Structure 1
Amino acid sequence: MARNSLLDRFRPVGSPGPAGPAGVPATDDEGPEAELVPVFEALDPTIREAQELTNDASVRAADTVARARAQAAALVEQARIDSGAVRAAAAEKVSSEAEAADTEMLRQATEEAAELKERGEARMPELASVIVADLVQDLLGSGNTFP
């Protein structure tokens, strides 16, 4: 007997005319496995190739992740090293700015003190004469005589 094809699974139906029996599978001895096994056997190489590609991709992904983690760790370590230098530079900048501000304040205070001293020395003769005049007035007003 010749091998059945897919179309041979159905019984022939009667010619056009009155209703006849419906087409149903002629034999169901072998079942769907007989039809599907060759298809899946043909897919086996493709499935194996897909599994190999997936495994290779997993290995490469793990390698990439490991390299990325190592690179990130190196960057973090370099940042820790650099942070000390940055902190020192920032502290030096703040210190020098504070020193410059202190120097400017001292200069301004020295100038103001010099101006006050100059004004005080300029007013000294006038104030001394007023004080002496007041003392003389007090002594004369109190009836005291000079020796």
Structure 2
Amino acid sequence: MGRLRGFLERFRPTGVPGAAARAGVPADRAAEDRAELAGVFAAMEPVQAECREIREAAERAAHDVRRRADEEATALLGAARARAQTERAAASVAAGRSAAAERRVIVADAERRAATIRERADERLPALVTRAVEMVKAMTGE
């Protein structure tokens, strides 16, 4: 039995190469860690699956929110364009009224000026006619 034990002792895991130690096979720490953590990772799998489901649901919800926002933006834009046309028409009517009012003011002012000029002409015309007649008589010798 002692010999078997000695033989098996040679396969006992040892540390990485370094200081001299008893004979053995190098220890595979990565494999040991994987084996040790395999149960932990297996226990975490349902949680990871739930996380994936939550993330996928959030992505679907975000997609729905973006789609609804796009639809709402399109509807708002259409309403704004329709309202803009109505506002332009109203502004055009208001501008036409303003132009008509301004035109009436200008015409009234022009009529007042014309009346003033006619009055002056009516006042000055008899004297000018008399003067012109006298000049013609003076030229003809009468």
Instruction: Name the TM-score class by shorter chain.
Output: 0.7 to 0.9
Question: In 2, Cα distance between the equivalents of 1:30 and 1:101?
Answer: 94
TM-score by length of 2: 0.76
Report the Cα offset of residue 39 of structure 1: 2.6
Q: Percent identity?
A: 29
3-state SS in 2 of match to 1:31: helix
Corresponding residue for residue 134 of structure 2? 133
Deviations 1:117-146 (A, max 9, x none): 001111112111111110110111xxxx6x
CA change 1:29–1:82 in 2 (3 A) is closer
Corresponding residue for residue 34 of structure 1? 35
3-state SS in 2 of match to 1:21: coil
Question: In 2, Cα distance between the equivalents of 1:39 and 1:56?
Answer: 26
RMSD of equivalent CA atoms: 2.7
CA change 1:30–1:82 in 2 (3 A) is closer
Corresponding residue for residue 121 of structure 2? 120
Report the Cα offset of residue 10 of structure 1: 6.5
Corresponding residue for residue 84 of structure 2? 83
| Aligned pairs, number | 126
Deviations 1:19-59 (A, max 9, x none): 7529x976549924312312311221221121011011011
Q: What amino acid is the match of 1:128?
A: V
Unaligned runs of 5+ in 1: 1-8, 13-18
Assess if the C-alpha contact under 8 Å between 2:14 and 2:25 holds in 1: yes
Unaligned runs of 5+ in 2: 1-11
TM-score by length of 1: 0.74
Question: In 2, Cα distance between the equivalents of 1:118 and 1:89?
Answer: 43
Within a 5 Å distance, the mapping from 1:1-147 to structure 2 comes to 20-21=20-21, 27-28=27-28, 31-32=31-32, 33-140=34-141
Corresponding residue for residue 8 of structure 2? none
Question: In 2, Cα distance between the equivalents of 1:122 and 1:71?
Answer: 75
